[in-house]
Chain A
Amino acid sequence: MMFRNLVCPVCGASCDDIQVEMTAEGIVAKNACKMGNAKFQELASPHRIRQPLICQGGEMLPSGWEEALDRAADILASSSRPLIFIGSETSCEAMEVGLHLGEYLGGVVDSNSTVCHGPTAMGIQEAGRVGATAGQSKNRADLTVYWGSNPLESMPRHMSRYAVYPRGYWTRRGRFDRTVITVDPRRSLTAENSDLHIQLNPNTDFELLSALLALLHGQQPHPSAEEVTGVAIRQMEEMLELMKGCNYGVIYAGLGMASSYGKHRNAEMAFHLVQELNNHTKFVIGALRGHCNVAGFNQVASYLYGYPFGLDFSRGYPRYNPGEFTAVDLLRERDVDAALVVCADLVSHFPADCASYLGEIPMICIDIASCPTTMLSDVVLPGVIDAMECDGTFYRLDDVPIYFQPFTASPFPFTASNQHTLQQLMERVRGRKEAGS
């Protein structure tokens, strides 16, 4: 049987044209890239966690759902300051429950943004953003700048579906109507397919952006800018001429900008550059986001509590201060005493000190497959795969909400979705807290 118009739950492109055929031989996914196809195969993966697990005597043992939920609720209800980390491959609906749980417990709620495009969100707060949907850019953009990103390898369909190759209303000839600039220290695959490659030195995005802005303001940058960035002033001017001369330009900022030294200051300068370019032509900027719903947490948290990530509820109202209330900082400072990790492998991806501390405190994990985080957890609750086994909402990389429907159901009788799991956990935590008060 063929299922059409499915949403892919992998990267920020959230492609909504996937076709899946379930055959006797396995799952065939059409239109999906290699990353998407691999994810659809997870449905039948032998690594899938198919029952709750509880750590007993240092060993992860299968348990009943009720028992596992009780243990998880005990951990959260007895903690003084839990960290609730909600990964970005689950739905906004699950994130909403996680945020409410964090507020109820007076804990801290964070998401992948904190180690992903959080600096970009902070840059937006500092400078504001001129943005557009992917559809706008597809139809209008005749200049595409990939800054610190390599979509041909990290978001394989971005160029073909949204940015470079598709024929738009005002870009009828597709790639022939567009100029592509890549700003990257490496000669990446995307750089090789670009019209201009600005090969700056690593961690000099801030200096390059500042120099471009100084040129736009009619001043020659400080002479050291060439040596620091590795980019000749002449090349900067060439880039600026292309930018000023286009009808509609778009910068897709990747983690090369947001996570190289300078972080949110890099992003802030990029937003200022785009604002200035709007004195010459129409220019927008957006983030190339890594996960299918990493934008969703920013949206849901901002809508509910006013801040995009790293929310502290210890005072009963939300507080925000990256560097103080963000997951990496709290774990490094040993400033939480329990963790609930939803759909994220923190132990693999966080700094060693943080991963080590996660091993010291009680941890609950909701995940679909075994990983270092599930191995260090006290309770593992099996995850349900969003967009395949349950419906919900993702926010695409351009902050457009995409409602997704499943083509199969949750394999578990005890939970229909990660949202359902978190709701059940919330009820039990509430029961314990109310019984104790």
Chain B
Amino acid sequence: MTEIILEVKGPIGLTVEAEAVCPHRLSGLAPGEIEAQLVWQGPAQLPLSDFFEVEVREGEGEVRIAIEGDASRIKRIGQGMRSGCIEIDGSCGMHLGEEMEGGSILVRGNAGSWAGMEMRGGLLEIEGDAGDHVGSAHRGSWRGMSGGEIRIGGSAKSQLGGGMIGGKISVARDVQNFCAIRQSGGLILVHGRAVRGVGAEMTGGVAAVLGGIERFSPGFVETGMEEDPVLGGEKRPGTFIRYCGDYAISKNPKGTLFVRG
């Protein structure tokens, strides 16, 4: 495995958009060529070396990118990623792994909003908290995440899985508003609590909130109880109430929402 180690040089002023930081884009490049890859800071295109110390450890097979230091002002890392892996030591900015198709990303800190937006495949793991719009659709787009898996070790904010049509998202702690909005496929599993709007405009797929919902979406109708349902490939102990919705958006919705009874 070829390892590319990118160490953030220091505090970053205006945010940087670095879709160049992606294994398939850096694969096969010499260290000098990697340093010369262009990233955006405002309207300026600047070399990667302005922001990172670059170290390359040559090897065989897939590329692994390790980012060290505070990357919270660096956006679009791993955008459109197809293979290999990225490991981020700290936190990172918006649009992490946007439209990724394969490979894996691990963030040990927090990730900004729009992580995994319109993701199609691969694994995106965030050990800390995530921002808004994780796995969602772009503004004005109807379809969000369609494949792959997102695992969040902390909490996520609002609009998680907006427009999701496939794949799986799990959140170890809480979510805020409009989780699973306009979901039509795939699975969203929230182990903690949700505030409001869960499953709003949902027409298909499965969402489960294990810790309870503060304000229930009015368009969901109870369809029965389930004991120890299997959600996300695992049996979840306890009694769950199964709802169908969202009747606010359709006369014949097929969205399923599980809430612990």
Using a CB–CB cutoff of 8 Å, the interface residues on chain A facing chain B are 80-81, 105-107, 122, 125-126, 204, 206-207, 209-211, 213-214, 217-222, 224-225, 228, 261-262, 265, 268-269, 272, 313-316, 320-324, 333-337
Contact = CB atoms under 8 A, between A and B. Distances in A.
A220 B248 CA distance: 10
B14 A214 contact: no
By secondary structure, the A interface counts as: loop
Contacts of B177: 261-262, 265
A214 B42 contact: no
B43 interface: yes
A213 B94 contact: no
A314 to B, nearest CB: 4
The range of chain B's interface size is: 35 or more
B200 A206 contact: yes
Of listed B132, B139, B178, B250, residue having the most chain A CB within 10 A? B139
A334 B13 CA distance: 8
B158 to A, nearest CB: 9
Interface string B83-114: 00000000000100000000000000000011
B37 interface: no
Contact of B248 (A217, A322, A337): A217
A211 B42 contact: no
B14 A335 contact: yes
B247 A214 contact: yes
B217 interface: yes
Contacts of B249: 213, 272
A217 B139 contact: no
Contacts of A225: 216, 218
Contacts of A261: 177
B247 A219 contact: yes
Interface of B: 13-15, 40-44, 94, 113-114, 132-133, 138-140, 177-178, 181, 196-197, 200-201, 215-221, 246-251
The 7 closest A-B pairs by CB, nearest first: A106-B43, A81-B42, A221-B218, A213-B248, A225-B218, A211-B218, A210-B248
Given A80-B41, A81-B14, A222 B218 contact: yes
B219 A210 contact: yes
A204 B251 CA distance: 23
Nearest to A81: B42
B43 A313 contact: yes
A211 B197 CA distance: 12
A265 B14 contact: no
26 contacts: A80-B43, A80-B44, A105-B43, A106-B42, A107-B43, A126-B140, A204-B215, A206-B197, A210-B200, A210-B246, A214-B247, A217-B219, A219-B247, A222-B216, A224-B215, A225-B218, A262-B177, A262-B196, A272-B248, A321-B114, A321-B139, A324-B94, A324-B114, A333-B15, A335-B15, A337-B42
Contacts of A122: 139
A125 B139 contact: yes
Contacts, number: 109
Contacts of A126: 140
Contacts of A214: 218-219, 247-248
A206 B196 contact: yes
A278 to B, nearest CB: 15
Nearest to B132: A323
Nearest to A82: B42
Contacts of B220: 222
Given A211-B219, A217-B251, 12 more contacts: A80-B42, A80-B43, A107-B42, A122-B139, A210-B248, A217-B219, A221-B218, A222-B219, A269-B248, A314-B42, A323-B113, A336-B14
Nearest to B139: A321
Contacts of B197: 206, 262, 265
A320 B41 contact: no
Contacts of B133: 323
Contacts of A337: 13-14, 42
A75 to B, nearest CB: 15
B40 to A, nearest CB: 7
A336 B41 CA distance: 11
Contact of A265 (B15, B44, B181): B181
A432 to B, nearest CB: 15
A107 B13 CA distance: 15
Contact of A314 (B40, B140, B181, B218): B40
Contacts of B140: 125-126
Contacts of A335: 14-15
Contacts of A322: 139
Contacts of A80: 14, 41-44
Interface-central residue, B41, B42, B94, B218, by most chain A CB under 10 Å: B218
Given A224-B215, A333-B15, A337-B14, A217 B43 contact: no
B40 A222 contact: no
B218 A324 contact: no
A220 B207 CA distance: 21
Nearest to A315: B40
Contacts of B219: 210-211, 213-214, 217, 219, 221-222
B200 A224 contact: no
B15 A207 contact: no
Contact of B113 (A125, A213, A324): A324
B217 A210 contact: yes
A233 to B, nearest CB: 10
Nearest to B117: A321
Given A210-B246, A213-B248, A320 B139 contact: yes
A353 to B, nearest CB: 16
Nearest to B251: A217
Nearest to A272: B249
Contacts of A81: 14, 42-43
A119 B7 CA distance: 39
Contacts of A209: 248
B92 to A, nearest CB: 14
Contacts of B15: 333, 335
Contacts of A272: 248-249
Nearest to B95: A324
Contacts of B201: 268
B63 to A, nearest CB: 26
B45 to A, nearest CB: 10
B64 to A, nearest CB: 29
A221 to B, nearest CB: 4
